[in-house]
């Protein structure tokens, strides 16, 4: 008999729009998601994928109210594009350069760098803050796709291919980015060995 009133109250809350979306429940467990703005599904999925690999320093913030995050020994504050005098992509191309030959690049290092960028982006999105972080974040994803290609690691997600991510990088480039920076990034798409 108790189950019927509980079910009825759950349905009533849901019909009134008072039930929390599933995305909010998932994002609330990540230490870096500090706001209440619902994350887009793609970002919420990324949060779920990285949250067990990312720790937060609650005493230190980096951008906005987002705590400094660490993954695999990489701290966001050590690779924070926002503290540089360079544009976001100029910073990314200099800070996140790959090795020569490309296949000898440290994929784990790049993944940990991406993890802290994804975590910080999620924190910013949860507070409805600036998204200038997207350009360097996509550049890191782009570099990972290039490294995987050079290391003969299959990329099964069409959204993670070199060409798709090149489009994401250029689409999210700010107006301050130079034609030379964009041309250099585009040229990297053909350097896959």
Kindly tell me the burial class for residue 141, based on how many C-beta atoms sit within 10 Å of its own C-beta (0-12, 13-18, 19 or more). buried
Please say if the pLDDT value at position 1 is more than 80. Answer: no
Using an 8 Å Cβ cutoff, are 139 and 186 in contact?
no
pLDDT tens column, 138-166: 999 999 999 999 999 999 999 999 999 99
For 71-129, write each residue's pLDDT tens digit: 999 999 999 999 999 999 999 999 999 999 999 999 999 999 999 999 999 999 999 99
Reported as a single tens digit per residue, the pLDDT across 19-76 is 333 344 444 579 999 999 999 999 999 999 999 999 999 999 999 999 999 999 999 9
> How far is Cα 59 from Cα 102, in angstroms, rounded to an integer?
37
**How many other β-carbons are positioned within 10 Å of the β-carbon of residue 66?**
25
Q: Flag whether pLDDT at 167 surpasses 80.
A: yes
Rounded to whole angstroms, the Cα distance separating 131 from 151 reads 31
The answer to whether residue 14 scores a pLDDT higher than 50 is no
- Beta strand 67-71 with 74-75: parallel, antiparallel or unpaired? antiparallel
> What pLDDT, on the 0 to 100 scale, is given for residue 28?
55
- Which residues, listed in sequence order, are joined to residue 57 by a DSSP beta bridge? 68
């Amino acid at each position: 008999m108790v189950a019927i009133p509980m079910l009825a109250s759950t349905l009533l809350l849901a019909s009134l729009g008072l039930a929390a979306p599933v995305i909010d429940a998932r994002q609330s467990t990540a230490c870096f998601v500090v706001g209440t703005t619902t994350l887009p599904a793609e970002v919420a999925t990324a949060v779920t994928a990285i949250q067990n690999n990312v720790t937060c320093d609650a005493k230190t913030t980096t951008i906005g109210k987002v705590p400094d995050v660490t993954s695999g020994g990489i701290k966001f504050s050590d690779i924070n594009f926002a503290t540089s005098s360079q544009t976001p992509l100029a910073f990314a191309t200099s800070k996140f350069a790959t090795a020569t030959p490309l296949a000898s690049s440290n994929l784990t290092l790049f993944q940990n760098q991406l993890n802290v960028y994804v975590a910080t982006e999620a924190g910013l999105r949860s507070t409805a803050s600036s998204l200038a972080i997207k350009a360097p974040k996509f550049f890191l994803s782009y570099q990972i796709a290039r490294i995987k290609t050079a290391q003969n690691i299959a990329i099964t997600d069409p959204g993670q291919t070199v060409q798709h991510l090149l489009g994401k990088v250029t689409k999210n480039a700010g107006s301050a980015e130079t034609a030379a920076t964009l041309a250099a990034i585009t040229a990297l798409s053909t350097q896959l060995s």
